[in-house]
Amino acid sequence: MSSSSTPTPPDGYKPELMSLGTECHHDACHLHDFLPFSCPACMLAFCQDHFLPSHHTCTAPLPASMVDRIAPTCPLCNEVVSSTGHRGPNHAVEAHIMSGTCTGMEGGEARKKALLKARKDRGEVCFRRGCTKVLVVPMACGTCTHKFCPSHRSAQSHSCTPTPVGSPAPAQQQGAGKSAMSRLLQSSSSSSSSKPAAKPIAAPKPQQPPSQPVSAQLEARAAAAQAALKRAGQDAKVPFVKTKTEKRADAELQSTIKSLKARHDKGLLTKAEQVR
């Protein structure tokens, strides 16, 4: 009596996911690949290790694009020129020279850089400096909004300097400092107004000791200057330094002139004031 044994599925085996991929057609592999590769000759599905015709003993003839593939070199700039199968290598080199981007021609390097920059700005080529990868699936940076290839999509890979999250701008910091100072002043004023009885004791009448020494020094300098001028036999008047009496007299004179002008505008001047 014979009994057939069913192989035990491995750990983590999920049969509901088997319909998403394809099994590798290699005789010794049978790997279930979710992103299989097609052989360019027989067009069967294989895994990444066995999709080339030489890796699975393919008997189908190779396509013409693989047999007659030629990469010509420009004789002026020694650059490899890409060519498709429907046109010959000579036509590809001629088109490369006539495009004006050949570095062997005068001004070709500048035009080539300008064309590359325009393609970078349009998002056709990776925007990182020095990278010339053509973008099939462009990836935009969330900070600078430029398009990059998968290798340079992160901010650290293309020297992007984003603003740190959580750190306010300098203007916001100054505004926050001013608002905090205003709140502190308001709280101090409200606390002082809530205790009117202690105000005369705690807050004495403002003194003016700093201004008195300054005025005294000015008067002393004026007196010394007057004495020096008297000794020299010159006029003792010091126009650039005024004493306290002179300042008071000037203030009274200005006040009198101002009041007389106001009375004159209203027509209230007496004869004595008009003569004055």
Asked, for residue 83, whether it belongs to a domain, the answer is yes
Q: Is residue 22 assigned to a domain?
A: yes
Average pLDDT of the segment spanning 123-137: 88
- Of the listed ranges 153-162, 194-203, 224-233, the one predicted with least confidence: 194-203
- Would 5 be classed as within a structural domain? no
Q: Domain check: are 63 and 101 in the same one?
A: no
Residue 231 confidence (pLDDT): 67
**Does 187 fall in a domain?**
no
Instruction: Point out the domain boundary residue: 67, 84, 100.
Output: 67
Higher pLDDT, 11 or 106: 106
- HSE, CB side, 13 Å, CA atoms: give it for residue 250: 7
- How many structural domains does the chain have? 4
Confidence (pLDDT) at 116 = 87
Q: Could you tell me the two tokens for 38?
A: 């097609």
**Which amino acid is residue 269, in one-letter code?**
L
Buried b (16+ CB within 10 A) or exposed e, 17-47: eeeeebebbbeebeeebeebbebebeebbbb
Given 157, 179, 203, the domain boundary residue is 157
When pLDDT is averaged across residues 65-77 and rounded to a whole number, the result is 76
In this structure, are 118 and 76 located in the same domain? yes
Q: Which residue segment(s) compose the domain that 128 sits in? A: 124-157
The reply to whether 99 falls in a domain is: yes
- Whether residue 45 is contained in a domain is answered as yes
Least confident of 44-48, 160-164, 244-248: 160-164
Spatial separation of the C-alpha atoms in residues 112 and 101, rounded to whole Å: 5
pLDDT at position 68 is: 64
Mean pLDDT of the chain: 73
Tell me how long the chain is.
276
- In this structure, the answer to whether residues 118 and 85 fall within a common structural domain is yes
The span from the CA of 191 to the CA of 188, in Å, is 5
Percent of the chain with pLDDT over 90: 4
Please indicate, yes or no, whether residues 114 and 138 belong to a single structural domain of this protein: no
Is pLDDT above 60 for 6? no
Write down the pLDDT at residue 46. 92
pLDDT digits (tens, 9 = 90+) for 16-26: 666 677 889 89
250 in a structural domain: yes
Q: Is the pLDDT of residue 239 over 60?
A: no
Residue 58 φ/ψ, nearest 5 degrees: -75, 135
Query: Which structure tokens are listed for 205?
Result: 């009448």
pLDDT number for residue 169: 45
pLDDT at site 2 = 45
pLDDT one-digit tens code per residue, 217-234: 666 776 776 676 666 665
Same domain? For 260 and 231 the reply is: yes
| Residue 159 confidence (pLDDT) | 79
In a domain, 255, yes or no: yes
Q: How confident is the model at residue 125 (pLDDT cuts 50, 70, 90)?
A: very high
